[in-house]
Amino acid sequence: MALAIRDLDFRYGATPILQGLGTGELPRGELAALVGPNGSGKSTLFRCAAGLLRPRAGSVSLDGADLAGLSQRERARKVFYLSQDTEARVALSVFDIILLARKSLHRGFALAASPEDTRAVEGVIEELGLAPFASRDIATLSGGQRQLAAIGQALVREPDVLLLDEPTSALDVRRQLDVMATIREATRRRGIVTVAAIHDLSLAARFADRVLVMNGGRIAQAGTPESVLAHKAVSETYAVGVHLERSARGTLLVEPYIQVQ
Amino acid sequence: MTAVLPMPASATATADYRRRNAKRLKLVLLGLVALVLALALDVSIGPGNLPLADVLRTLVDPQSAAPRLSVIVWDLRLPIALMALAVGAMLGLSGAGMQTILANPLADPFTLGVSAAATVGASVAIVFGWSVLPGAGPFIVTANAFVFALGASLVLFFMTKLRGVSAETMILVGIALLFTCNAITALLQYRSNEVQLTQIVFWTLGSLARATWGKVGVAAVLIAVALPFFLMRGWALTALRLGDERAESMGVRVDRLRLEILIGTSLLAAVSVSFVGGIGFIGLVGPHIARLLVGEDQRFFLPVATIASAVLLSLASSLSKVITPGVIYPIGIITALIGVPFFISLVMSIRSRAV
């Protein structure tokens, strides 16, 4: 029971972005961190996996079933992609937009939210600690708070696959830890597949069950955090040296450094 | 003694949400009351200095009213007053839809050339007497305006479909249409004689005096179909306000939604402009008032924009009759004159009062 991306090929015009990319099997209940330099194709990979872009070749399958045959609506039920852009400033409250993520697939005259919907929204607000600003317009919030609200949208949706594009980029240190722990816990409890693009290698090492290193439109290395981050593929990908260390608390710390020639 | 359990903070958020929705719903109902009051005011004002009581009695019991009263109220004033509401509603809903799908608060069907195309159609009828619909008879100006407005919408539709249905493409094509149509109208005006020129200018001003019961009926049916059509897509339209990509990842088929709403808004604008000419600013100001009152949740925004615009045009219609006693000014002049300063003061004074 897993998500599997195989031989994915995608290009913008003549520029190849993904070149025969395969992730191997990403099992349910596991959080995978996708790391790689800017422009390596992480967001494109997510968009292809979510069905927002059509790859030239390759397949995305969940539990053995190819997702290509699904309508956009059916696919959106299974796969939720949280884009990097969470900056929209509109006159909608945090509660509104989280509820929206549950209702956006709805068409018809059930304009009101069901008790089940509001309970799910309440649960997410509780989980992410959004209550202090849940009734405020997102236009009046900080970038980090808006990002949290967007993560709320991802969690309330209860998809089978969560694709999170830099979900903690605007968050403070405490929020980063809280959100990553919440995401990991939700992934295990719900038995879903979560892939999160993360720039902070220590954060990836700390929370991910497996790490995928992306470079040049391919997965250069994949495996457990310790095995992957120690691999030369990481230093080659980023053109940095990587020093790994366990802290006294047992946490894997990753220290990248610039090598002087 | 009963113990009061503290409510979890998230339940407070739900209570807030419900309270906000109740408030928004109340605003919709208040709007409907304002609609009836504005209609009553509009019907009661006019040349003839009829006492209000007589007007109301004639409305309630037309059989027992004097024939003169009955004609003034039922044949002259009521169609115009209802047309003001209907056209206001059509322009408001159309503007609200356009602003949402184009993510642009300045968009309305008029800024995208639909009205300008209608003027071309009307001018062709006035200058050459050509009808694009055979058998249009006395309705040749209206018929031409409608066909041209719809034609402009189709051009907008197909060019955006061809080029990719982004908000930017739609606006660019719309602006190009607007300037092209304005140029053609200018050319037609240049070729026209004095009488024709006067007719074109008068048509462009927009006037409710062209109202008939038939037109009121068509407009009412269109609103009755279009508003539910838009509301059925309420959640998806709200999602679109967060940006194309986020809406798509929430399962919204953004391209299709844009085209569906474009068809709806175009039809509303084409009918309204062909019936009464160009009436500016209502489709812009009404949605803005709605946004300030109820925010961007389209379930409330769309009906409130519709109602607010209807009330505005109805009030403008009353105003057009009282400025100079005995004279009814074309309503397009009133909405432009009042609309601009009103719009600016609205933008300047109230930053955000969404409930």
pLDDT in tens, A164-208: 999 999 899 999 999 999 999 999 999 999 999 999 999 999 999
pLDDT of residue B352: 47
Please report, as a single letter, which amino acid is at residue B93.
Answer: L
Could you read off the pLDDT of A28-47 as tens digits, one per residue? Answer: 999 999 999 999 999 999 99
User: Distance from first CA to last CA of chain B, Å, rounded?
Assistant: 37
The DSSP call for residue A169 is T
Which residues is A25 bridged to in the sheet? A4
pLDDT of residue B141: 86
Chain A residues whose CB is inside 8 A of the B289 CB are none
Cβ(B17)–Cβ(A95) under 8 Å?
yes
Size of interface A-B (CB pairs under 8 A): 128
> Residues A81-95: what's their mean pLDDT?
87
What is the residue-wise DSSP string for B232-292? Answer: TTHHHHHHHTT-HHHHHHTT--HHHHHHHHHHHHHHHHHHHHHHH----SHHHHHHHHHHH
State whether ipTM is beyond 0.90.
no
How many whole angstroms separate alpha carbon A213 and alpha carbon A124? 30
Contacts with B, A 163-222, CB within 8 Å: none
Could you read off the pLDDT of A228-244 as tens digits, one per residue? Answer: 988 888 888 988 988 99
Chain A residues whose CB is inside 8 A of the B20 CB are 93, 135
Mutation for B interface: A53, A71, A92, most B CBs within 10 A: A92
Residues belonging to chain A? 261
Q: Does A99 touch chain B (CB under 8 A)?
A: yes
pLDDT of residue B143: 87
Could you read off the pLDDT of A14-32 as tens digits, one per residue? Answer: 899 999 999 999 999 999 9
The distance from CA B212 to its chain's CA centroid, rounded to whole angstroms, is 18
Could you list the beta-strand ranges (E) of A43-184: 57-62, 65-66, 79-82, 161-165
The mean of the pLDDT values for chain A is 91
How many whole angstroms separate alpha carbon A9 and alpha carbon A17? 8
Q: What global pTM score does this model have?
A: 0.88
- The pair of three-digit structure tokens given for residue A201, joined into one six-digit string: 């290698």
Per-residue tens of pLDDT for chain B, all 355 residues: 455 555 667 778 889 999 999 999 999 999 999 999 999 999 988 877 788 888 888 888 888 888 888 888 888 899 999 999 999 999 999 999 999 988 888 787 778 888 899 899 999 999 998 888 887 777 788 889 889 988 888 888 787 777 766 778 888 888 899 999 999 999 999 999 999 999 898 888 888 888 899 999 999 999 999 999 999 999 999 999 998 889 998 889 888 898 899 889 888 988 888 888 888 889 988 999 999 899 999 999 999 999 999 999 999 999 988 887 777 788 888 888 877 787 777 767 655 444 4
| Residue A223: band (very low, low, confident or very high) from pLDDT cuts 50, 70, 90 | very high
pLDDT of residue B6: 58
**Which backbone phi and psi does B162 adopt, to 5 degrees?**
-70, -40
pLDDT of residue B353: 46
| Residue A72: band (very low, low, confident or very high) from pLDDT cuts 50, 70, 90 | confident
pLDDT of residue B60: 83
pLDDT of residue A234: 86
CA B75 to chain A, closest CA, distance in angstroms equals 37
- The pair of three-digit structure tokens given for residue B220, joined into one six-digit string: 């009412």
Please determine, for residue A67, whether its predicted confidence score (pLDDT) is greater than 90: yes
Could you list the beta-strand ranges (E) of chain A: 2-12, 15-21, 24-27, 31-35, 57-62, 65-66, 79-82, 161-165, 193-197, 210-215, 218-223, 241-246, 252-257
Of A2, A4, A12, A19, residue with least CA distance to A59: A4
Chain B residues whose CB is inside 8 A of the A137 CB are 295, 352, 354
pLDDT of residue B355: 43
